[in-house]
Amino acid sequence: MKEEIRREGEIFGPHLRALRLARGLTQTDLADRSRSNLQFISKLERGTTTPTLGMLLRLAEALDCRVAELVDVFDRGPRVLAKSRKD
């Protein structure tokens, strides 16, 4: 059986959304708490962009969790195809 390979945004986005919803936050709430904006949070959740390390730190603070909780989703799913800066 061929292993499914997914882009990191396709994996991270739904995970971020689930963490946000579990805390009863709107996208606007998360944007405000993470010192970001609604459009960026929406792009993250749709998987069209990925966060920088600094943004991961701010998201963890905003969601009252550890950075590891944000990224552990990559250890339990299908292989990840990392997007290069040239894509």
Distance CA(73)–CA(68), nearest Å, equals 9
- The verdict on residue 17 lying in a domain is yes
Sign of the CA dihedral running 17, 22, 23, 24 = positive
CATH number of the domain bearing residue 47: 1.10.260.40
The total number of structural domains that make up the chain:
1
pLDDT, tens only, 64-86: 999 999 999 888 766 655 665 55
Question: Containing domain of residue 10, as a range?
Answer: 5-77
- The verdict on residue 72 lying in a domain is yes
The pTM assigned to this predicted structure is 0.83
**Cβ 11 vs Cβ 74: under 8 Å:** yes
pLDDT, tens only, 23-66: 999 999 999 999 999 999 999 999 999 999 999 999 999 999 99
